[in-house]
Chains A and B, each alone.
Chain A
């Protein structure tokens, strides 16, 4: 555990020393701020503002933010050769990768907590639905973790951070759009089981319809946790086999 902590602390510190991480945070928060402003001015006149708007937006933007936050994690260590140093220390790959992942997730959590300010603004001007907001924020937190874990796989596969980011974004988009694909598949004769499967694999089926409306279901939480653990396991195996074949 202390090994995970050592990796976690260094990695999280790196996010706070890296101009890129600040850039991502700035762009994300700025973008959300502008959209929130536009949304709230429109909502004010026509309909009650939705307290799940901001976390929903954040989960959508994760296809960009996730890969940018994780692309460096393993690709850089491998390119610089520092991975070989760590892999000859008495530490398992699993500890190393979990430490890195937790740092990325912690950084994302901090960004998520900053966006809570919009909920406070909503509280100032009206009576937002706190329950729905809680579910949506919890969902956005798990959703973000799952996206980070999945995009981290690409950072283990390629040494090139840009390639890792692009493939990560593509993977997350596929998972994001799975629900739309499933509705198309459902129109084909005899494909309803396949359609269900595709929908359940995707991210939106476990967020858009449930958590983002404040409906907290065990199966959705299990889905996100399984996705995280599964992706971290795959990443570990990739780092191991890379090393063995190197």
Chain B
């Protein structure tokens, strides 16, 4: 269980994470979704006790991440973004080292179990320097699950892997999500949609939406915009636009690459029956009529565009040259 309330992290004048609140529950995979530099890694570092928050509160498994950091660290497994490992060690000796620092008993058995779970038992005694990126990733995950923690935090676990390895890691994440509280970050939307039970979308340090992928979808669909596609060689002609604009439940129309986007007079109204009728009466061939935001990608692009627009209107103070080194790297 992870509970985050108004968590904020400021570096000098730059606010990396601005008063975010969310929860992650046991037995669920919570996806932390946002573009690079959105504040995902900073949030995870605060949750794992690596850095203290500027303000706000976060608890992991019931312990405060700042006040009871050691208790939190015992109950958390953390995979870092680029999986730092000791290249001169083998997966087995590395995990034994971590197990010893964690003060675990029955170390040998636990290390073997963790290696087995990530499918690395066969390479347990190879030097880490000779392992592929995907294998290192799995060693990193083995390190995170070694002590069977209540909470798992995985920072971009699929970054830099080939498509085959990505699928393997996603399966592993889903599987681990069944018996852990699992928070994982990604900037790949389809991944979040496939793997997560809940999604938290973050941009410029703000949470701009959260919920199940289905909830997010209906939320934006209720925003109500629909896409109308016609089978006509010259696309959306002025006549079509006028005809749809004339419908009483439609407030505005705009031509788009795929067809016509119609906005209803209010989000509760579904203008699709009226549009269908108008199009058919006009003698055009209707081939598609659907709510605009149907996958997470569109929702995400829509939401990040909105939050960016708000930001440029409001206080656009976050000049990129004031970013601390690490955040700048993230954005690059």
Residues of A within 8 A of B (CB): 2-3, 5-7, 10, 14, 17, 80-82, 84-92, 243-246
Contacts and interface: CB of A to CB of B under 8 A. Distances in A.
A243 B143 CA distance: 21
Contact of A90 (B74, B84, B85, B88): B74
Contact of B51 (A82, A90, A243): A243
Contacts of B87: 80
A17 B80 CA distance: 27
The dominant DSSP class at the A interface is: helix
A6 B50 contact: no
Nearest to B75: A90
Contacts, number: 61
State the 7 A-B residue pairs at the shortest beta-carbon distance, nearest first. A81-B84, A6-B100, A90-B73, A88-B48, A82-B84, A90-B74, A90-B70
Interface residues of B, number: 27
B84 A88 contact: no
Nearest to A78: B84
Given A80-B87, A81-B82, A89-B73, 17 more contacts: A6-B97, A6-B101, A7-B101, A80-B86, A84-B50, A85-B143, A87-B49, A87-B50, A88-B50, A89-B101, A90-B73, A92-B70, A243-B50, A243-B51, A244-B51, A244-B52, A246-B326
A84 B81 CA distance: 11
A246 B143 CA distance: 23
B67 to A, nearest CB: 15
A124 B101 CA distance: 47
Contacts of B209: none
Interface of B: 11, 45, 48-52, 70, 73-74, 76, 78, 80, 82, 84-88, 97-98, 100-103, 143, 326
A80 B88 CA distance: 12
Contact of A84 (B84, B100, B101, B102): B84
A142 B76 CA distance: 40
Contact of A82 (B45, B85, B103): B85
